[in-house]
Amino acid sequence: MSAKIKIGVLGAGSMGSGIAQVAAQSGHEVVLTDKSLTQLDSARGNLDRTLQKLVEKQKMSAEESQAVSDRILCSTSMADFEDCGLVIEAIVENLEVKKKVFSDLEKICRAECVLATNTSSLSVSSIAAGCENSGRVIGIHFFNPAPLMPLVEIIPAVQTSAEVLSQSKSLIDSWNKITVVAKDTPGFIVNRVARPFYGEALRIYEEGVADFATIDWAMTEFGGFKMGPFTLMDYIGNDVNYAVTDSVFTAFYFDPRYKPSLTQKRHSDAGWYGRKTGRGYYDYSTDKMPEPNRDKVLGEKIFFRILVMLINEAVDAVFLNIASPKDIDLSMTKGVNYPKGLLQWANEIGPGKVLAQLDQLADEYREDRYRASALLRRMAAAGQSFEFK
């Protein structure tokens, strides 16, 4: 891939239009296509408004903003991808639809064009299986909103060639993004490691230990998280967050560690998605938010229980070679704004102390959900800490 190849983006929804903006701002000619003309018109309008705001905030000159806009060609025809060096797909999250689209792309694009998917939950290897030359297919997973979030997960399918992996990583690095390489497994890094932030908080609520406001307070007060789990789920949308949890749980052959919560399911069933519907765990029709119980002992207990579950997930991801310790910590600080990398946190607390809390939970509940990673056990026994090379 040469530095200034033409970039194709398929799907002009929230992710596709954001990715098109990032590529055009990095100096590439971009072809943005969608099957819906209405969607394309709306994406063009949104893009131009965003660029205008950047000018108003003096983050970009008027000439530059015009040049970025001019570099993006909107089209309803995938045939315009013909001379692209990379095409990033960001259409509906459906395996059969994506496989068909990749098979069509293969017929349109040049042999050396890399075909990437922005899927957040499907297997990249399954999508690649839709192509004859599956070695040129890779996952390039941006976070929402793509122009603002620095992290991009690069996911080689089992079929992806080493050359396509290194070319794709260097290209996205050159777009001022922080790239991490993840194995093609459910949730990749962020959507796997972050599960207990939501799941354990919901479980604590279900047990009647504390209410939403108190759990949120515990995580912001003692953990330094920018938002508590319930505020964050209301922000993401309970429908979206539940769907991710459910898909990770199913894809992991129903491993109890990833079991979804009935509380979240019922909130989703009721249409209480969160901010976008005016009601989620909190009621947004009023300015009056419930007050937490600011009991320090309770707060610290809640925080530590959720933290050890998060650390265990991060350690297990290292154990199973999902990514390097450095990339796992980068993912959580740059992809979901955690105040500290979870493995760094494990080092500071000490693997032995983390393990003791997990073992206490496992002992009490006798549920596989609380099983400690074998790596955590080994590290605690050897008195080791994580290294970030």
Amino acid occupying residue 275? R
- Judge whether 141 counts as a catalytic residue: yes
CB of 253 to ligand NAI, least distance (A): 21
Kindly state the tokens that stand for 43. 């994406």
Q: Is 84 in the site for ligand NAI (CB under 6 A)?
A: no
> Cα torsion at 231, 233, 236, 237 (round to 10°)?
-110
Judged by CB under 6 A, the chain residues 141 through 200 that form the site for ligand NAI are 142-144
Q: Which of residues 98-137 bind ligand NAI (CB under 6 A)?
A: 101, 118-120
- Amino acid letter, residue 347: N
Within 8 A by CB and 6+ apart from 375, the residues are 315, 316, 318, 319
Distance (Å, whole) CA 92 – CA 103 = 16
191 is catalytic: yes
Which residues are CB-contacts of 109 (< 8 A; sequence separation ≥ 6)? 8, 81, 82, 84, 87, 115
Residue span 252-291 as binding mask against ligand NAI, x where in contact by CB under 6 A, dash where not: ----------------------------------------
Q: Which residue has the tokens 């909130």?
A: 267
Q: Identify the active-site residue in 28, 141, 241, 247.
A: 141
Please say whether the beta carbons of 314 and 342 come within 8 A: yes
- Minimum CB distance to ligand NAI smaller for 118 or for 185: 118
Q: Of all residues in this chain, which one has the CB nearest to ligand NAI in the complex?
A: 13
Neighbours of 191 (CB within 10 A): 22
Should residue 90 be labelled a site residue for ligand NAI when binding is judged by CB under 6 A?
A: yes
Amino acid type, 213 = A
Least gap, CB of 131 to ligand NAI (angstroms): 16
Place of tokens 């938010």: 289
DSSP states along 156-194: E-TT--HHHHHHHHHHHHTTT-EEEE--SSTTTTHHHHT
Member of 6, 8, 9, 11 binding ligand NAI (CB under 6 A): 11
Instruction: Determine if 15 is a binding residue for ligand NAI (CB under 6 A).
Output: yes
Closer by beta carbon to ligand NAI, 39 or else 66 = 39
Least distance from ligand NAI to the Cβ atom of residue 115, Å: 14
47 binds ligand NAI (CB under 6 A): no
Q: Which stretch binds ligand NAI (CB under 6 A): 55-63, 86-94, 107-115, 247-255?
A: 86-94
- Residues 280, 264: Cα–Cα separation, whole Å: 9
What does the radius of gyration of the chain's CA atoms come to, in whole angstroms? Answer: 22
Tokens 């990379």 correspond to what residue?
A: 86
C-beta closer to ligand NAI: residue 41 or 283: 41
Catalytic residue among 118, 191, 268, 347: 191
Is-catalytic flag, 153?
yes
137: β partners: 115
CB of 91 to ligand NAI, least distance (A): 4
Q: Is position 267 annotated as part of the catalytic site?
A: no
List the catalytic residue out of 17, 65, 118, 153.
Answer: 153
Q: Which residue stretch of 14-22, 246-254, 266-274, 301-309 sits at the interface with ligand NAI (rule: CB under 6 A)?
A: 14-22
Residue 337 lies near ligand NAI (rule: CB under 6 A):
no
User: Residues with catalytic annotation?
Assistant: 120, 141, 153, 191
Residues of this chain that bind ligand NAI (CB under 6 A): 10-16, 34-36, 39, 90-93, 97, 101, 118-120, 142-144
